[in-house]
Amino acid sequence: MSTEFVIKIAGEAVYTVLKASSPMLVLALVVGLLVSIFQATTQIQEQTLAFVPKIVAVLLSVLIFGPWILTTLIDFTYNILNNLYKYVG
């Protein structure tokens, strides 16, 4: 295996992980920001208040974006196995 091949695969892996996790991260960020704004306006300083809405939002995003994430990961796995088969075979 050449170093260019390994670096290309590693770059694709990082990109795939970022692409697959981005819906959950963005939704958790938005919900956390909304809860923080709510806490600032109502002067509620409870630290654990932000966790439950974030957990619910991430769970809902997994349910909504799950098929797309699975398709993305399957495509990446297929490409890796196909490239390895071409390289070995």
Question: Total domain count for the chain?
Answer: 1
| Residue 61, C-beta contacts closer than 8 angstroms, at least 6 positions apart | 23, 24, 27, 28
Structural domain boundaries, residue 18: 3-88
Per-residue pLDDT tens for 37-74? 998 898 888 878 888 999 999 999 999 999 999 999 99
pTM: 0.78
Residue of 65, 54, 60 whose CA lies nearest to 19: 65
Report the amino acid identity of residue 78.
Y
| Residue 57, C-beta contacts closer than 8 angstroms, at least 6 positions apart | 27, 28, 30, 31
Residue of 6, 69, 57, 1 whose CA lies nearest to 29: 57
